[in-house]
Copies of this chain bind each other. A is one copy, B any other.
Amino acid sequence: MLEPPFSRPFSSRFLCLFGFGFFGSRSAGGRRRTVAMELSLLAQLHERLQGLVLTTSDHTSVVSINLFVTLLCGCIIIGHLLEENRWMNESITALVIGVFTGFFILLVTKGKSSHIFIFSEDLFFIYLLPPIIFNAGFQVKKKQFFHNFMTIILFGAVGTLISFFIISIGAIASFRKMEIISLEIRDFLAIAAIFSATDSVCTLQVLNQDETPLLYSLVFGEGVVNDATSVVLFNAIQNFDYAHIDANIILKLLANFGHLFFSSTLLGAFSGLLSAYIIKKLYIGRHSTDREVALMILMAYLSYMLAELLSLSGILTVFFCGIVMSHYTWHNVTESSRVTTKHVFATLSFISETFLFLYVGMDAMDIEKWKFVSDSPGKSIAISSILLGLVLVGRAAFIFPLSFLSNLTKKSPDERIQFKQQITIWWAGLMRGAVSIALAYNQVFGLMTKPLVRFLLPHNAKPTMSISSEPSTPSSLHAPLLYNLQGTDAEAEAEFVHRGPGLRMLLSKPSHTVHHYWRKFDNAFMRPVFGGRGFVPFFPASPPDEGLQGLP
């Protein structure tokens, strides 16, 4: 159990532990035994001292970290230089650099491997994914998101289920015909579950929140929500009695989804509120800005890991934690912490995304993957085409009917999802598989989504805005930053002050009315307890923001 923690040359000073361990451990019993133990310890000591100089085992990981960090720096610089180019962004740059690096490694290793280290799922799910999703929640336009909440849930839960059934039935029918007899029904269902879920990380890359807010919130929201659907589907596939498939299954699935969705959301909201309460109540910023920042980072991460521990959807949890933190906690910290957290979350997310795409590029050069394709090209193309077709059909099968349903509840034509927008949602949601060759291949969809948005929805595209990847980031600190996350709430509130809600209102604009009652509750109970804009504790050095405190 007791492992020698350090055995590298530069760790010399810390070898103290092992000095102590050497003198004070693993010896039990009489004198003779102690001497024998001492000798075996000395043998270990020798090995460790040898290890101090040789250190061959760690060498590969040091080399690969160096290579990856250098490539990341390269991606950032090239991404900056290509900023004005509408076809390129950091992700595509990273993909291209990854492909070239993979090719280079392939040459150096003489065709053995194209990536220098094997991507572990832990690396992705424990380190790279949480910052990306948390930042998306932290920076999301909350009003837009909650305004379309029902449609998002409809797409993410019911839509994904529809897609799942179409893909599984289609795959079973066509692959059986193609004599891929060896697949069981369970495998087909797994494949369908994989391909029925869209990918939120990819969506972030191709849709711009400021340019096309409705599309962004619908497609990205669907991507977040269908993570819960995927967990439900995979658990269901394992436990189903395949002999007795009946209509109850769908009800059961929906119940499971409901449970998972609410638990995950609650956990995220609870973590966010807890952080807001602690920081406000204990007035953490009084002594140290860094402590506030550390607490926000750690509690956001904790919410994700807790969800994993409880077998909930970590993505949903950390997304809602981000939303709650930006609504409450962010307003309770000092101004330095506000600037720091805003940028540090965005930076961590940015580094994680770039890293991901870099790896995917390298992975695309994996020679093993292409062997089968060159051996039986016909079959590969057929399988790929069938899957692609099924995904297209499965997606069309829920986007258009569910958009129609969603439009029925909206009275104003402005709020309805136009047919052109439906086509864009259908197309943009085709992206799936963030971490695979499949993404390199699907980035093609991403590349084609931008021009499609421009072509179908020209009135939405603002050319000056679309150049910058983060137009909302202000260079100066004060007013723009404060307005940035919650700016639109003020307008909405002003609107209600003028008109006032009522039954007529509830019928014509249900989500607006829900929003109004939420605002009332938020101002009367939530903000006084958890802080938030207008209820920040007093910081002597932070400039007052009276312009925003005047709201009810």
Contacts and interface: CB of A to CB of B under 8 A. Distances in A.
Contacts of A502: none
B5 A435 contact: yes
Interface residues of A, number: 159
A23 B233 CA distance: 22
A44 B126 CA distance: 24
B369 A20 contact: yes
Contacts of A311: 9
Give the number of copies in the complex: 2
A433 B66 CA distance: 27
B69 A194 contact: no
Nearest to A314: B10
Interface string A237-280: 11000000000000000000000000000000000000000100
Interface stretch (A179-187, A394-402, A451-459): A179-187
Given A125-B8, A336-B475, A369-B20, A76 B194 contact: no
Interface in A273-306: 278, 282, 284-285, 287-291, 293-295, 297-299, 301-302, 305-306
B295 A76 contact: yes
B72 A298 contact: yes
Contacts of A433: 13-17, 19-20
* Centre residue among A50, A81, A126, A438 by max chain B CB count within 10 A: A438
28 contacts: A1-B112, A3-B119, A6-B121, A9-B231, A10-B125, A10-B314, A12-B193, A13-B194, A13-B226, A14-B434, A17-B433, A24-B380, A34-B376, A35-B182, A42-B182, A45-B190, A52-B234, A53-B234, A58-B122, A61-B122, A65-B305, A69-B302, A72-B294, A81-B282, A291-B350, A297-B347, A336-B339, A476-B543
Contacts of A25: 366, 368-369, 371-372
B468 A24 contact: no
Given A119-B5, A340-B340, A182 B230 contact: no
Contacts of A545: none
Interface in A155-204: 180, 182-184, 186-187, 190-191, 193-195, 197-199
A469 interface: yes
Given A21-B369, A288-B469, 17 more contacts: A1-B368, A5-B118, A10-B125, A10-B227, A10-B230, A10-B231, A10-B315, A20-B437, A23-B372, A49-B190, A49-B237, A76-B284, A79-B291, A80-B284, A336-B474, A339-B339, A474-B541
A250 to B, nearest CB: 19
Nearest to A118: B3
The dominant DSSP class at the A interface is helix
A28 interface: yes
Interface string A325-362: 00000000011110110011011001100000000000
A369 B2 contact: yes
A308 interface: yes
B234 A372 contact: no
A346 B180 contact: no
B29 A375 contact: yes
A77 B287 CA distance: 11
B9 A234 contact: yes
A287 to B, nearest CB: 5
Given A2-B368, A69-B298, A434-B14, A343 B336 contact: yes
Contact of A62 (B124, B309, B346): B309
Closest 3 pairs between A and B when the two form their complex, measured CB to CB: A17-B436, A16-B433, A475-B541
